[in-house]
């Protein structure tokens, strides 16, 4: 009986540890802004040209979501949140194939607006 309780305790510990690692993975550190900027150029160009694949759109959604999780290098955090949220929303509409999503995406993707307010000089 004692041996059975030990096995149950071990099984519980293993299952709990596995579940906890899943929880912590959800809060994983986002990609660095510099890395995001390098990876998003090609998919953004494809969207603007009208030949982006579903994978390109999903990649952009992932990148913009990570971008919003970062703190702005400089500038107002509320403005950063507003700008990155707009990018995520417009990209989600692309992924969902909503009508007018490409036009809205092109309006929202204004590199100068973010860089002026949040890029280190």
Q: Report percent pLDDT > 70 for the chain.
A: 78
CB 31 within 8 A of CB 63: yes
Left, alpha or beta for 33 (phi > 0: left; psi -120 to 50: alpha)?
alpha
Read off the pLDDT band of 12 (50, 70, 90).
Answer: low
* pTM recorded for the entire structure: 0.76
Q: What is the pLDDT of residues 89-119, one digit of tens each?
A: 999 999 999 999 999 999 999 999 999 999 9
Nearest to 58 by CA among 98, 28, 93: 93
**What pLDDT is attached to residue 81?**
97
**What pLDDT is attached to residue 28?**
83
**What pLDDT is attached to residue 21?**
45
CB 40 within 8 A of CB 24: no
Q: What is the mean pLDDT of residues 57-74?
A: 97
Residues 6+ positions from 33 with CB-CB distance below 8 Å: 67, 70, 73
At residue 4, does pLDDT exceed 90? no
Q: What is the pLDDT of residues 17-63, one digit of tens each?
A: 555 444 445 568 899 999 999 999 999 999 999 999 999 999 999 99
């Amino acid at each position: 009986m004692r041996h059975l309780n030990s096995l149950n305790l071990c099984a519980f510990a293993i299952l709990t540890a596995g579940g906890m690692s899943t929880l912590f993975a959800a809060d994983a550190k986002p990609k660095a802004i510099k890395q995001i900027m390098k990876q998003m150029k090609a998919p953004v160009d494809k969207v603007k040209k009208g030949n982006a694949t579903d994978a390109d759109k999903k990649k952009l959604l992932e990148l913009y979501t990570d971008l919003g999780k970062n703190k702005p290098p400089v500038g107002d955090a509320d403005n950063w949140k507003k700008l990155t949220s707009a990018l995520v929303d417009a990209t989600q509409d692309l992924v969902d194939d909503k009508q007018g999503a490409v036009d809205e995406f092109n309006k929202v993707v204004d590199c100068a607006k973010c860089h002026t307010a949040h890029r280190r000089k």
